[in-house]
Structure 1
Amino acid sequence: MTSPAWPPGLDPGSAAVFAHNELTTHLPAERLWPVLLRAGDWPRWYANARRVSLPDGCAGLAEGTAFRWTTFGLRVSSTVREFVPARLLAWDGSALGSTGYHRWELHPAPGGGCRVVTQETQRGPAARLAAPLMRRGLLVQHQHWLEGLVRTAQEET
């Protein structure tokens, strides 16, 4: 799967902040995908996500889902912009003078399992002012998110 284009101004080359994390697991994408979509459950296994609010009657993320959540201590409004089942999930988000774009990609790995890639870009005054600190925080927290995703999917079997 070739990665789609980033939204204007939020591509890694022009954004103030870019973070890329990845992990390869023996689990297939089909096992990870449902765990990732249940955003309301993220706080159980990813400590940097709190107070996730989905629309009434919405069990998980889907194309166009608008949701609110707290991450890095900020209340963020997000909307799912890319959705390819068991392959690609991405949303935008904005809070306190920063606009971000977060993308998850699940790539089948040779011999089974998959490579999970998560990337985030940020732009805006807050991102420019705190770029090195923000990038370090994203790298650390997104690694925890990846590890929690795999651990939770494993436990659910």
Structure 2
Amino acid sequence: MNAIIWPAGYLPGTTENFASNEVIVAGLSAAQVWPWLAIAPRWPEYYANSANIRFYDGKGPELAAGARFYFETFGFPVEAEVTEYVPPVAGEPGRVAWHGWAGEGETRLDVHHAWLVEDLEGGRVRILTQETQKGKPAADLAKAQPNPMINGHQAWLDGLVSAARKA
């Protein structure tokens, strides 16, 4: 199975917080899942923890390398820039990642949120999402019980699978 590609400074275990969630489900393909992830304004349709998605510079609604966008999640107004965007093709996984940031100074939060969507043998698809976070808000999130990042991202995965199945 494939792995997330981490940029310098965001390697898991070297930042204040890290969350990893994954599902492997039968009866779906990467091609069926991808549009529900890649077209960001669809997120609120299946993931209640996302809102007010908008793009800058006439981009969107589909994510693309270098695209700047804004959304709200986990109580944070997040500015983001897509750093990786590779749709899935036969034998190769889909990859999308963005650098997101919110706040300033002591309240600054920086994240690298990455997704991998890959077909597996037997008519299965694997969806992996991982996020590393830097800053005091990230350190606070890492201590929270239950873990809001793990729970929130699991809800995102579950909603993504459900939306793809219904389509």
TM-score normalised by structure 1 residue count: 0.92
Distance in 1, Cα, partners of 2:140 & 2:59: 39
CA change 1:46–1:130 in 2 (3 A) is closer
Query: Which of 98, 101, 112 is the matching residue for 1:91?
Result: 98
| 1:17–1:135 CA distance, 2 compared to 1 (3 A) | farther
Segments of 5+ residues of structure 2 without an aligned counterpart are 89-93
The 3-state SS of whatever aligns with 2:71 is strand
Q: Is the contact between residue 36 and residue 163 of structure 2 (CA under 8 Å) also seen in structure 1?
A: yes
Report the equivalent of 2:55.
54
Partners of 1:2 and 1:9 in 2: CA distance: 21
Match of 1:103 in 2: 114
Q: 2:164 maps to which residue?
A: 153
Percent identity of the aligned residues?
37
Give the number of equivalent residue pairs: 156
Partner deviation per Cα, 1:28-51 (whole Å, 9 max, x = no partner): 000000111111121111000010
Which runs of 5 or more residues in structure 1 are unaligned? Answer: none
Of residues 133, 143, 147, the one that matches 2:154 is 143
Distance in 2, Cα, partners of 1:11 & 1:17: 10
**TM-fit CA distance, 1:8:** 1.9
Distance, in Å, in 2 between the alignment partners of 1:100 and 1:154 is 29
Amino acid at match of 2:78: V
